[in-house]
Amino acid sequence: MSNPWVIALITVLIIGLSAFFVAVEFALIAAKRHRLEDAAPGSRSARAALRSSTELSVLLAGSQLGITACTLALGAITKPAVHHWITPVAEALGLPLWIADITGFVLALIIVTFLHLVVGEMAPKSWAVAHPERSAIMLALPMRAFMFLTRPLLHVLNNAANACLRIVGVDPVDEVDRAHTSDDLRQLLRHSVQAGTLERESSDALLGALELSRISLDDLVAGRAEPVVVGPEATVGEVSEAARRTRHRRILVRTAAGQAATHMVHVRDVLDFASGDSVAEVMRPVSVVAGSLTVVRAFGAMRAEGTQLSLVERSDGRYAVVTVTDVLTHLLTVDGAEEARPSH
């Protein structure tokens, strides 16, 4: 096959295929899974990209198979043709035949390698890394079709590679681990402050938020006095007086003498009642949470229940109140170091 136009067309197709496989490989590695999930409901291609991300080792085997096949094709078709074209030109310049042949071989190797490396690998890699989700979605369906056709071979290659990994003590995985621990995030925040890319105040606030996954409710309410609790026969006047004295809007109520508080009354709910009226009609139940719970878990439980206040049963048997405002105050206080007044 010596027609230069045919060779050029085949070369373009081969390099294009190589670029396709390289882009698929880097796009799926760099793409953020949550962005693919956001696009999945309305896009078949995004759903295909998500499926590929769950069997990444097979996809990488397919990409490497395609890239290798393209490299061999260029070596079998394009390089000999370029070699064949250059050798007569070099010989016409007065070089001996054997030198002209070597010159043609070396130049053909350089030209084909340059085209494959720059156009077929580096350029698509840069594009895929710059636009990972877009490229992953765009290329997902044709790659899934290729994987469907070559899946038996891909499984053989992938299993062979996994066997080699196990021999050297490495456990193969099918998905990229993109999770970051709280310690990783703390280190990243500290580094950002040192590098000058994040202000100290912002870093302290974020570090305080991360600290909520570590500290318990016992730590959050440490040093607080036990909350004011009115008895089971409390009147509106008694609740109003307790609210005025403590400056709290929510007053705890025990429904049986000698027991912990099980309900609360918000002062706004008794504004239309007479001072001697019972508060039984406006009492709301209060959830009791263990002091050993982390603040994050307790805050999640409060959100699920739609409540602004919970009673904390401390490890020493005493009780304290924690509110959503306490959690937010901790977040907004630098390093969570300053104690805020109970805000219930």
Mean pLDDT of 147-169: 88
Domain ranges of the chain: 4-167, 180-211, 215-336
- Is the full-model pTM beyond 0.85? no
Q: Is the predicted pLDDT of residue 213 greater than 80, yes or no?
A: no
261-293 pLDDT, tens digit each? 778 777 777 777 888 887 777 777 777 778 777
In which band, very low, low, confident or very high, does the pLDDT at 192 lie, cut at 50, 70 and 90? confident
Output phi, psi for 77, to 5 deg: -115, -60
Q: What share of the chain in percent tops pLDDT 90?
A: 17
- Spatial contact of 255 and 265, defined as CB atoms under 8 Å apart: no
On whether the 215-336 domain is CATH 3.10.580.10, my answer is: yes
Low-confidence winner among 41-45, 101-105, 254-258 (lowest mean pLDDT)? 254-258
Written as one letter, the residue type at 218 is D
Low-confidence winner among 108-122, 126-140, 324-338 (lowest mean pLDDT)? 324-338
Output phi, psi for 264, to 5 deg: -145, 165
In which band, very low, low, confident or very high, does the pLDDT at 186 lie, cut at 50, 70 and 90? low
**pLDDT at site 89:** 87
The token pair that represents 190 in the structure block: 């500290």
In which band, very low, low, confident or very high, does the pLDDT at 330 lie, cut at 50, 70 and 90? low
Q: Is the predicted pLDDT of residue 84 greater than 90, yes or no?
A: no
Higher pLDDT, 252 or 154: 154
Q: Is the predicted pLDDT of residue 334 greater than 50, yes or no?
A: no
**pLDDT at site 254:** 77
